[in-house]
Structure 1
Amino acid sequence: MLWPWRRKTRRAMARIAIEGPIAGATRTRVLKAIKQVQERECPALLLRIDSPGGTVGDSQEIHSALLRLKEKGCKVVASFGNISASGGVYVGVAADQIVANPGTITGSIGVILRGNNLSKLLERLGVSFETVKSGIFKDILSPDRALTGAERDLLQGLIDSSYNQFVEAVATGRGLDQQLVRSFADGRVFTGAQAKELGLVDQLGDEETARCLAAELAGLDPEKSKPITFGAPPKRFGGLIPGRSQLRAIGQALSLEMAWSGQPLWLYRP
């Protein structure tokens, strides 16, 4: 028996949007949406990305889920919006094709890890920490002291490993030589037009361009292929208040700085 919802969506194009930093909540929402797309056997997925990137593990899980979806026969086209950088690129290279606006900010291929050294401030305030640890690296990136040379070497090895994974994924996804990718994967950002010249983007255009391309790849009629959105992020009433979006952006930046301190990130941080 073919359920009514399957009759409706079996030949329909799906759409999933990744907006804002890629972290736990975004990963959960997007993975659930990808699973729904797979269950409903949608022949094409329009993946809209407007994100500066985020945490390494969350980006990798979404990337892997997209590869599994493609193995089931679903054609995936990524549409880069205002910004698709770092972890946004990592997710995007899992797609069959990538479309970007000429002025899209993309690139920032690399890894960053930051800690907060507050030792001088704490000293002025008369605050000190007493630490008991099981190993010399257990309190690495503690905010009350600077890194030692050994700690810096250890963290650099961690960053290098994560960077190599990023380069490999980009090279594989885009069909590029790894040495070529390394030549521009130094954290720099590009416009969509520059990214196309480097082979990171297939076509220049907007989301409508990407939709038509996804329909073409899946053998659908572009005139009749209106995408069905899965995993839409919750709407916030506060966003309608003037100035609220700017305050939210500032608060988000501060919370990311504190919450992600000490984590390797695939994140564009200007």
Structure 2
Amino acid sequence: MSERLTRVLQLGIVLVVAVVAAVVSWFIFFDIPADLTDLLGVLLVIATVVAAIQLGGRIANAAFPSYDVAEVAVEGPITRDGGRGPIPGGAIGTPADDIVEQIDAASEDTHAEALLLKLNTPGGEVLPSDDIRRAAAEFDGPTVAYATDVCASGGYWIASGCDELWSHDASVVGSIGVIGSSVNASELADRLGITYERFAAGKYKDAGNVLKEPTDDEREYLQGLIDDYYDDFVETVAEGREMDPETIRETEARVYLGEEASAIGLVDELGTRADVEDRLAALLDRDEVTVEEFTPQAGLMARLRGSAERVAYSFGAGVASTLDADDGFTFRF
């Protein structure tokens, strides 16, 4: 169905709904009640028609969608539940399950022929990030990732599941690395007279516990986990981005501005949002595309909280995937 015909059908539905509402409201609010003033009746008719036009527009958009590209945004740190922000009940980022749900909805929508994944994230937890990457990779159609402010660590992991990655020339891109950390408070505990009593089954169960000095063997064990995570990260990115693994290792987990990231192959193209839409139009072999944003349903207060918190977290790179063990040791991509 052509875009022009779609617009005509949408307009037709809106007009029909408006006319029906006008006729019904005229009889209900003006013609039948003899004690209502003419002015009140007219105002009620107008109010009803306006509401009907809005309803008709939603019905028309649902019946004859005019979009051909679905946009899903990944903003803020990536966690399973969106994380906890400074405002009670607020979320720092978008819950990964919600993002996956919207990508899946786009996959099932016959009108969404391509996927635009907007990335503005410093990274996030391992499995939630990978869930988003897999969902994008499984989309049946062209997929383009677009980095706005930051596409680092877990964000870059997600981008590796898309066909192309675009960014601004000043976007922050990269941070392909892994860090493991644990606070060592053993000396402070000694000064305070706090002792550590070990009750554990398994040699390495309490490796990295904050109240004891790690042994050389434990350090080697934990570093081995870091190395395994890093190898997996490099292999996944290399496969998804069709890059030489050694090129990725040579970045040494640095972040780059978009222009330099493009020069070394971390980014396919530099451009604006309009350039990205032109590219999607070329991939779909048409003159232009219409983008529809797929977002999870949320109340007004939740949306206001999310907007405020995303401003605070919109710029920051390097903090990505976290996996907290019960012994206090933390892994981060």
TM norm structure 1:
0.82
Task: Provide, for residues 249-270 of structure 1, a one-character-per-residue CA deviation record: whole Å limited to 9, x for no partner.
Answer: 9xxxx9x99968623222xxxx
For residues 160-191 of structure 1, give each alpha carbon's deviation from its aligned partner in whole angstroms, at most 9, with x where no partner exists.
1211111112212222222222222x111111
Name the structure 1 match of 2:304.
Answer: 236
> How far apart in 2 are the matches of 1:47 and 1:11?
15
Mapping 1:17-166, distance limit 5 Å:
17-25=73-81, 26-41=95-110, 42-69=112-139, 72=140, 74-166=141-233
Determine the C-alpha separation between the residues in 1 that align with 2:323 and 2:67: 45
- Cα deviation, residue 48, structure 1: 0.7
Q: Residue deviations 1:144-169, cap 9 Å, x none?
A: 01221111111222111211111112
Aligned to 1:201: 267
Q: CA deviation at 1:225?
A: 1.0
2:127 & 2:181 partners in 1: Cα distance?
Answer: 17
Aligned residues: 252
Q: Is residue 2:297 matched to residue 1:226?
A: no
Q: What is the CA-CA distance between 1:221 and the residue it aligns to? A: 3.9
Q: Which runs of 5+ in 2 are unaligned?
A: 1-58, 82-94
Q: Which residue in 1 is equivalent to 2:92?
A: none
Residues 6 and 238 of structure 1, relative CA distance in 2, 3 Å threshold: closer
Task: Note closer, same or farther for the CA distance 1:238–1:138 as it changes in structure 2 (3 Å cut).
Answer: closer
Q: What is the CA distance between 1:236 and its match in structure 2?
A: 3.0
Secondary structure of 2:136's aligned partner? helix
How many percent of aligned residue pairs carry the same amino acid?
Answer: 30
Post-superposition Cα deviations, 1:125-152, rounded to whole Å, max 9, x if no partner, equal 3333322011121111111012211111
**In structure 2, do the counterparts of structure 1 residues 101 and 227 end up closer, same or farther at CA, with 3 Å as the change threshold?**
same
- 3-state SS of 1:79 partner: strand
1:16 paired to 2:86:
no
The answer for unaligned runs of 5 or more in structure 1 is none
TM-score w.r.t. length of structure 2: 0.67
Alignment of 1:157-196 (within 5 A): 157-184=224-251, 186-196=252-262
C-alpha distance in 2 between matches for 1:68 and 1:137: 38
